[in-house]
């Protein structure tokens, strides 16, 4: 684990230097899909090289590589690896902070250092699996619990793939409509003019890909907690940090979407941010009706 942390720290100066030279703060973003797999495969390679049982670590490695392929591909097709490409939120934050030195500190402390360490920390459960592999029999055996947890991770990656594809197809159809006026089959004019996807998985969650992404690293941690027979352990720091980061980034994303799309507020009221809602009624609608009924009763009493 120390080797992984040292590597994460060593990357920070390069992230900062590249960001300042290019005036582009998506340096960590480009490595986001890759670094966790590097750390996970590092743990697997160490165990394999030392002759330890690697069934569990190998499974995590395969899942991690699939996760990397999915995220790297989606980032690439959106133009994330194009020269000069930058996450649209960084320029907005630069404008909000509006101080060159303060944003430099933000780059060093959060963008480069915190995020680099976070991408290492989320793989801490895999390190625990490396330790378990050194225990005789019980710690190294791949059992039914391992099968269940690993299949859950595969399932979450599948959700991400489906959500990515649904959003990609919608965005392609939207831009085609705006450029040519042609409505792609499977969509209608009203749907494309709305500006954001609300069908498929996106009709159940406003961010199904984000929900699955958080679930992946949380499940990996729970898996490690189960195998180490603890309710909580230090390896959960990465998962908790990941959840916290997504709460903040999603809040900003939705704030910007609300400013850009007039109908987004209603979408927020009817569809859960991450977890699907039982009712499609807008939040507060039932409460408002109940209040109206109560008001009528009060008025009748006064009469």
- For residue range 213-257, list pLDDT tens digits in order: 999 999 999 999 999 888 888 999 999 999 999 999 999 899 999
pTM (2 d.p.): 0.84
Full DSSP string of 100-161: HHHHHHHIIIIIIIIHHHHHHHTTHHHHHHHHHTTSSGGGT---HHHHHHHHHHHHHHHHHH
Which pLDDT score, from 0 to 100, does residue 102 have? 92
Q: Is the pLDDT of residue 37 over 80?
A: yes
Q: Is the pLDDT of residue 164 over 70?
A: yes
- Inter-axis angle of helices 208-227 and 236-260, to 10 degrees? 170
Q: Is the pLDDT of residue 302 over 60?
A: no
Which pLDDT score, from 0 to 100, does residue 280 have? 61
Residue 152 banded pLDDT, cuts 50, 70, 90: very high
Q: Is the pLDDT of residue 175 over 60?
A: yes
Length reported for the chain: 303
Summarised one tens digit per residue, pLDDT across range 65-121 is: 999 999 999 999 998 888 888 888 888 888 888 888 999 999 999 999 999 999 999
- Tell me what the mean pLDDT of segment 167-189 comes to: 91
DSSP 24: -
Across the chain, what does the average pLDDT equal?
88
Residue 124 banded pLDDT, cuts 50, 70, 90: very high
Helix (H, G, I), strand (E, B) or coil at 251: helix
In terms of C-beta density within 10 A (0-12 exposed, 13-18 middle, 19 or more buried), how is residue 239 classed? buried
Q: Is the pLDDT of residue 281 over 70?
A: no
Lowest-confidence pick of 103-107, 146-150, 286-290: 286-290
Q: Is the pLDDT of residue 59 over 70?
A: yes
Lowest-confidence pick of 3-12, 21-30, 261-270, 279-288: 279-288
- Inter-axis angle of helices 55-77 and 124-132, to 10 degrees? 160
Which pLDDT score, from 0 to 100, does residue 246 have? 93
Q: Which is more confidently placed, 129 or 141?
A: 129
Which pLDDT score, from 0 to 100, does residue 294 have? 44
Q: Which long-range contacts (CB under 8 A, 24 or more apart) does 277-283 make?
A: none
């Amino acid at each position: 684990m120390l080797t992984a942390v040292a590597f994460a720290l060593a990357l920070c100066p390069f992230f900062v230097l590249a960001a300042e030279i290019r005036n582009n703060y998506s340096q960590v973003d480009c490595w986001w899909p890759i670094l966790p797999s590097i750390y996970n495969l590092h743990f697997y390679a160490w165990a394999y090289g030392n002759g330890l049982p690697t069934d569990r670590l190998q499974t995590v490695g395969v899942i991690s590589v699939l996760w990397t392929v999915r995220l790297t591909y989606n980032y690439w097709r959106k133009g994330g690896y194009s020269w000069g490409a930058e996450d649209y939120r960084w320029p907005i934050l630069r404008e909000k902070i509006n101080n060159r030195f303060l944003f430099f500190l933000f780059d060093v402390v959060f963008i480069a250092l915190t995020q680099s360490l976070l991408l290492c920390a989320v793989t801490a459960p895999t390190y625990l699996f490396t330790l378990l592999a050194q225990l005789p029999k019980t710690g190294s055996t791949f059992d039914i619990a391992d099968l269940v947890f690993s299949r859950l991770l595969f399932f979450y990656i599948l959700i991400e793939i489906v959500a990515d594809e649904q959003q990609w197809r919608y965005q392609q159809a939207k831009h085609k409509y705006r450029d040519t006026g042609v409505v792609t089959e499977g969509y209608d004019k009203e749907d494309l003019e709305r500006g954001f996807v609300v069908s498929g998985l996106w009709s159940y969650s406003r961010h199904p890909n984000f929900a699955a992404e958080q679930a992946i690293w949380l499940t990996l941690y729970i898996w490690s907690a189960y195998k180490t027979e603890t309710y909580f352990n230090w390896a959960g720091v990465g998962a908790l940090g990941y959840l916290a980061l997504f709460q903040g980034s999603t809040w900003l994303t939705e704030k910007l979407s609300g400013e850009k799309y007039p109908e987004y507020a209603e979408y927020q009221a009817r569809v859960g941010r991450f977890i699907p809602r039982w009712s499609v009624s807008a939040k507060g609608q039932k409460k408002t009706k109940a209040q109206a009924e109560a008001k009528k009763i009060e008025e009748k009493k006064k009469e």
